[in-house]
Amino acid sequence: MDELSNYDSAVQVIKRVILQHQVQAARQVNAVQLALYYSVGQYISAHSRTAQWGKGAIDYISRRLQEQLPGLRGFSSANIKLMRTFYEEWSPQTLTQLFHGKNEQSKRAQSFTNSPVATSELEWLQKSDIFAVTLGLTLEEFQAVSFTHHSVILREVKDVAERAYYVRLSATEQLSVTRLKSAIANDTYRHRGQMPNNFVQTLSDSRSALKAVEMFRDEYLLDFINVEELGARDKEDIDERVLENAIVHNIRDFIMTFGRDFAFMGNQYRIEAHGKEHFIDLLFYNRELSALVAIELKTGPFKAAYLGQLNMYLQLLDDYVRKPQENPSIGIILCTDAEKPYVEYAVRDYAKPMGVAVYKTRDEMPEKLRRALPSMEDLRKFL
């Protein structure tokens, strides 16, 4: 029996190594593909933007490639044009501007972008980490994002810093293309770090406070919740428990909306103290913050009284649930509407770290995004 147990342990070790190498191999394949597409885009751009090629050149090239390399994928006429965009939007001129004041890196970046991508140049990029210097992301993150993701970002976002943010978000959160589109449509870039809170005043560790400020947003798009599906005319008609059950039923989507490293600990989380029972709507643990995160759901606009209730819950969590090595528990009120100056005024004198965010449901999604997603009726037919 012990021998079999040893074998099972060996299986788990080997399995873990295989999975790690599969992930690494996938990343390397993606990096090589991006390098290839960049080089092809550079070549196509140099010839198609001048009088050297006629209007139908790219269509012809795509067709001939398919004929000469049967089974070749990814080189349709439309995709080749996306490669051109990929090169032009991350052009040598753009990179030179990003590396302004870093002469040696500028020269090497120009060398990289002005010639077909070679292994040695990829190795240099990995060592130099130029993206970390200028954009707040690493080359590994840049290469981990698929060409499809890059194309969506380049099409939907124009600002370079904002593009860098969504590239990094896609890599770190492992966003699907649908989730990426949702994040862009919800303008996650401008909502991050905007939630009214008292983290800096209440979290003694400044690094933890800054992490918490950056992690939470002032608005969340709960696109998996449809008011009509819940049998209500508008959000204020939804019972809070019904909303909670809808979130629990879609807990994976909810966690992905909030971000990485959240673990769900339960809903209506019960704590008994001094002969009284208390129930927290949703309780999570965040590994990045090393802290419990309590979320209270409200189907109406923010009220100052909510903070008192949440403060009590955080006190109970810290006294009865939190482990010695963990940071103070954090509380978030999630409601339908909140005036930021009023919330900041109301929350400033509380001793427990709290913040207030608003949420939107599927029926409130931007029209552009709503058109891109299937209707509930279409989903029913599909299922």
Q: What is the DSSP string of 121-135?
A: HHHHHHHH-HHHHHH
Same structural domain, 276 and 129 = no
pLDDT > 70 in the chain, percent: 71
Asked whether residue 144 is assigned to any structural domain, the reply reads yes
Q: What is the pLDDT of residues 339-382, one digit of tens each?
A: 999 999 999 999 999 999 998 876 665 555 455 444 444 434 43
Asked whether residue 342 is assigned to any structural domain, the reply reads yes
Same structural domain, 354 and 237 = yes
For residue 156, is pLDDT > 60?
yes
Cβ-in-10-Å burial (0-12, 13-18, 19+) of 222 comes to buried
Comparing CA positions, the residue from 105, 131, 117 lying closest to residue 43 is 117
Same structural domain, 206 and 176 = no
What pLDDT shows up at residue 311? 96
For residue 72, is pLDDT > 70?
yes
* Count of all residues that appear for the chain in the document: 383
Q: What is the rounded CA–CA span in Å between residue 215 and residue 114?
A: 38
Q: What is the pLDDT of residues 170-202, one digit of tens each?
A: 988 888 898 899 889 888 888 888 899 999 899
What pLDDT shows up at residue 236? 54
What pLDDT shows up at residue 327? 93
User: DSSP secondary-structure letter at 219?
Assistant: E
Longest dimension (CA), the chain: 84
Same structural domain, 146 and 225 = no
Same structural domain, 161 and 24 = yes
The CA–CA distances, whole Å, from 309 to 112, 213, 272, 333 equal 57, 22, 15, 10
Count of domains forming the chain = 2
Comparing CA positions, the residue from 223, 216, 221 lying closest to residue 194 is 216
Asked whether residue 126 is assigned to any structural domain, the reply reads yes
What pLDDT shows up at residue 136? 58
What pLDDT shows up at residue 260? 75
Q: Which of 185, 209, 234 is the last residue of a domain?
A: 185
Q: What is the rounded CA–CA span in Å between residue 61 and residue 44?
A: 10
Q: What is the pLDDT of residues 80-91, one digit of tens each?
A: 999 999 999 987
- pLDDT bucket at 15, cuts 50 / 70 / 90: low
For residue 249, is pLDDT > 50?
yes
Q: What is the rounded CA–CA span in Å between residue 154 and residue 86?
A: 8
What pLDDT shows up at residue 70? 84
For residue 206, is pLDDT > 80?
yes
What pLDDT shows up at residue 343? 94
What pLDDT shows up at residue 374? 44
* Residues in a beta bridge with 355: 197, 332
- pLDDT bucket at 92, cuts 50 / 70 / 90: low
What pLDDT shows up at residue 255? 81
Taking residues 54-64, report their average pLDDT. 86
What pLDDT shows up at residue 119? 40
Asked whether residue 210 is assigned to any structural domain, the reply reads yes
- pLDDT bucket at 127, cuts 50 / 70 / 90: very low
**Higher local confidence (pLDDT), 248 or 13:** 248
Same structural domain, 309 and 257 = yes
What pLDDT shows up at residue 19? 63
What pLDDT shows up at residue 331? 96
- pLDDT bucket at 228, cuts 50 / 70 / 90: low
Taking residues 81-109, report their average pLDDT. 66
For residue 230, is pLDDT > 70?
no
The CA–CA distances, whole Å, from 58 to 40, 48, 64, 221, 364 equal 12, 8, 10, 40, 41
Same structural domain, 316 and 242 = yes
Parallel/antiparallel/unpaired status of strands 262-273 and 330-335: unpaired
pTM above 0.85?
A: no
Helix-helix angle 177-185:147-156, to 10 degrees: 20
Q: Which of 185, 217, 246 is the last residue of a domain?
A: 185
Q: What is the rounded CA–CA span in Å between residue 304 and residue 247?
A: 24
- The answer to whether the beta carbons of residues 78 and 148 sit under 8 Å apart is no
Q: Which of 113-117, 187-191, 199-203, 222-226 has the lowest mean pLDDT?
A: 113-117
Helix-helix angle 119-128:103-113, to 10 degrees: 150
- The range of the structural domain enclosing residue 21 comes to 2-185
Asked whether residue 329 is assigned to any structural domain, the reply reads yes
Compute the mean pLDDT over every residue in the chain, rounded to the nearest whole number: 78
Q: What is the pLDDT of residues 278-323, one digit of tens each?
A: 999 999 999 989 999 999 999 889 999 999 999 999 999 999 999 9
Taking residues 152-170, report their average pLDDT. 91
